[in-house]
Structure 1
Amino acid sequence: MLDGFEHSTGAHCGSTSLTDVAAYRRWGLSEPMCFGIGAGLGFSFIESEHGPTKQFVGRTPWLERAFHEHLGIPVEEGSGQSFESAWDDVTAQLDAGRPVLLFVDIFYLPYFDSDVHFSPHVVVAVDYDGESVTLADSEFDELQRLALADLRDAMGSEHGFYGPLTNDWLVAVDDPSRSVADAASDGLRTTAQAMLDPESMTWRGAATNGLDGLRAFGRSLPNWPDLPDADWCTRFAYQNVEKRGTGGSAFRGLFAPFLDEVSAELTAVDDELVAEGHAIDEDWGAVAQQLKRAGLADDPEESQRAYDAASEAVLAVADREQALYERLQERL
């Protein structure tokens, strides 16, 4: 076991894992700050033959890597290795006293008891033996022990929002070389660019991203009653707004407190901008309630009205988000 490692549950798997590592390394960063520095806020609308045919994720694929980059933290990482090679590298890092981020599919984690593929889910490896690994997981107070056979499946899953998992791991090998203010400023710039001009960024997987994706999602909602898996799509959409480790409001519930905290570091983030971030958080709560209403309605006409209302709410929040990101770009 890493000496002095302490774990706390959190809102989102990636930002919680980063917070655990930051606490262990004594960097003094909250979960919203980790999320914002990593430019975690995003949107990807996915049309797929696997799982719900229409789904989305409200975070970016680069959160964990951008966090380290923006803070100037050198890393070592692996991707595309065989499981055996990746495991050798992970255990070497643990032997050196470094917690390791692992990217997994919860379907293969017995302690989740999930019958749905959901990845990438981010956990922290903190100990191991010849047959298992010990993980810090954002959803559980206690550390979890996982058999290596299950870890092999979880790190090599063919199912993921951004494509198949390929035995990915990431570890910080030194302390930050940049200030929190500079890192947070970079996080905000990256967030604004990714949402306003998604084609300028390197996204993973086949999706419509940024505000383009958010609007495509909103425009598609009135037609969801005709989907063969409408119930599943709607239930999954609601969960990806309010549950499934999003921090609430499709991750906007993490972005708003980041703006609160970073306003003390950056003059560009004033009280008006902070208030707008919280208002957008609340607007997403209204989207979630319309999705829930659509999914629960027994009457087809009532359900259609709820899908239409959800569509209008999504398109309205997209306009509001666009104005926020444009203001951020002007100020930073």
Structure 2
Amino acid sequence: MAHRIAVAGATGQIGREIIKTLAEREFPASELCALASGRAVGGSLSYGERNLAVEAVERHDWAATDLLFLAPGTPAPVTLARKAAAAGCVVVDTTGMVDPDAPVVVPEVNPGALATNPRIVASPVAGAILMAMALHPLQALGGLVRVVATSLQPVSGAGKDAMDELFSQTRGVFVNDTATPEQFTKPIAFNLIPHVGAFGEGGLTDEEEAIAEDASRLLGGVAVAATCVRVPVFIGQALSIHAAFDRPVQEKEAREAIRDAPGLTLLDRRDDGGYVTPLETVGEDPVFVSRLRADSTVPNGIALWCAGDNLRKGGALNAVQIAEELLRRGALRGG
């Protein structure tokens, strides 16, 4: 049974990747509408072996759509999502802006959150997806008590203009051209910026709050502390994670649990190059785990490094997998 699908924010990084992923995974679509606003309307996007005309999101008929993917860059996403849901459309939200009460889902971690057939489902921020994927298999070995993580975030998470700024600043260093930063508060080329998102009153940024909240919901309410750092990498996100459990977790059994988990790849040799870097994750679907070891600074501590493509599993792929799970459960109308 094929379904009528729309992707809002289709011309952005995640929107394009969602369309690409739908084609790659042969999601059953009788119709796919690429929606955007402003100057993007009238352009075209590749969908498998054919092109899609980009249509105006403001004029779309939601009663004729079964499934909406809401990607970053969509204007007035809250209003749009509510209008679509009221018309009977199921919304998969990748913006994190629509409904704080919507279930936050990573299909390998908590597919049961879809049991109530919600009209709006949230796909978490990339850092929370990677963290939950890496830690979920270990929960069968011991209850998580606390997680502390540093998230190293690529410029693609801030959009195409941010990627262009990294490129131009990198080139400028070699020709002695010091351009004024526009997308970031400080130069990003050959630099690290401990600031992703807007600062709140308590000193956390909204990205840090989003990672902590989403990961906590995915992992059963565990306390999560995150520090986010923008790094001069185009695509590929990594986290350094320290987790404490309520009982001892042996390295050997932790490795076995991660090795057997769907969507994870363990690459952890204790020699030069025996780990995965963000660059190596580009275009790859799995989340990669490396540097797994005991953390002796806390009782029952485990430390690890995980990395993944923030546009794939950290974004588009997870959203499409949510849709696949909804389809499997018969939660989509029409066809």
Shorter-chain TM-score category? under 0.3
More helix by share: 1
TM-score, scaled relative to structure 1: 0.27
Q: Would you tell me which structure has more strand in proportion to its own residues?
A: 2
What TM-score do you get using the length of structure 2 for normalisation?
0.27
